[in-house]
Amino acid sequence: MTRPAPATGLAALAALRQNGDSHLFRRLKIGDCPYFCALLIAAAAMALADAAAPAPAAPVAAAPDASAPAADASVAAARCLYLPPEFAPHVVFYHTFDDGPDRPEINRLGAKVQAAAAAPAGLTGRGVDGSLRLGGLAIGLGRPITVSLWWRLNEPLKVDGGFGLLALNGRGWVSNFVRSGPWCGLKEPHFVTQVYNWPNVSNVNGVGDAARMRQGAWHHAALVVSAASRVQVWWDGALRSDFHVNGRLFGAGDVIQSMHLGQDGPSRPMTIDEVLVLDAALGADAVRDYASGVRQLAAVGFPRAAARPE
């Protein structure tokens, strides 16, 4: 059996990917995630072919246009094999860090990108050690939004330690982080979600379960705002926080002007990768399928971008 050239094979897979009603995606369904199932089967087939014949040199996948408008951004998202097809119309920011810390693949937000030091070993390619800051934003909380990233700790989490993870900032903030004592009388690190300082919206300081995690393990986190009032945080496909704000709904004046994703520090305590922002609120199944699918694709070393047609 002869394996087709990788660029050709991935381009064909990307073409199938854009056809949401293709027989491939309709027939292959495991765990309600037909798209990721199809990619994993393709990866297994490629691995078997490699075992039977010498593999050609791996191609360098071309990155999608970082400044594409909405229509072109959907095409660009369709080339990113780690993004399910249904995500494509809603991707407003996507950064794999493969082209450098300050060069996202898709930036429909027009965000000013400031990243920390490049990390050669991210989840699926390169990543960033530290944090990513997005400035110059104008995202209204009255509309749905999902902010997602993958992260790992590069040093042990101390009993009195903590770290930042997801912070959406404007007149107030919506954030998810880990914190320990003496803050709020905690004796070990706990998961925290906050909604603070929005005029006439009741503050929320949601202290959750103890955060126990090991150094070097990759985790997925997603913060979802929907219905102009509901805030959810997911870690590794599990819902960790879910509440509706009180006082009033988020409105036109409640604007996210910047985001701070990850944790800075002289020791570069965290690596982040696969930063994704959608102008849609992902539901439970979509979050779980995405977290599981990306983890499995990364485990088998599946390329995260298809080559552009010549």
Instruction: Output the domain CATH number for residue 209.
Output: 2.60.120.200
**Domain presence at residue 304:** no
Tell me the mean pLDDT in the region 2-8. 37
Residue 15 lies in a domain: yes
Residue-range definition of the domain harbouring residue 141: 6-299
3-state helix, strand, coil in the chain (%, to 5): 25, 35, 45
Q: Is the per-residue pLDDT at 225 higher than 90?
A: yes
pLDDT in tens, 16-35: 444 443 333 333 333 456 66
What is the Rg, in whole angstroms, of the alpha carbon atoms belonging to the chain? Answer: 20
CA distance 206 to 193: 5
Query: Do the domain assignments include residue 94?
Result: yes
Could you read off the pLDDT of 168-179 as tens digits, one per residue? 999 999 999 998
- Whether this prediction's pTM lies above 0.85 is answered by no
Assigned domain for 1 exists: no
Q: Is residue 305 part of a domain?
A: no
pLDDT of residue 63: 39
307 part of a folded domain: no
> Residue for token digits 């779980």?
288
pLDDT of res. 7: 40
Per-residue pLDDT of 184-198, as tens digits, reads: 777 888 889 999 999
pLDDT at 243 over 50: yes
The mean pLDDT value for 247-255 works out to 95
Name the 3-class secondary structure at 27.
helix
Q: Is 309 inside a domain boundary?
A: no
The CA-based angle 87-92-97, given to 5 degrees, is: 95
> Quick check: is 166 in a domain?
yes
Q: What is the mean pLDDT of residues 238-253?
A: 95
Residue 41's pLDDT is 66
Specify the number of domains making up the chain: 1
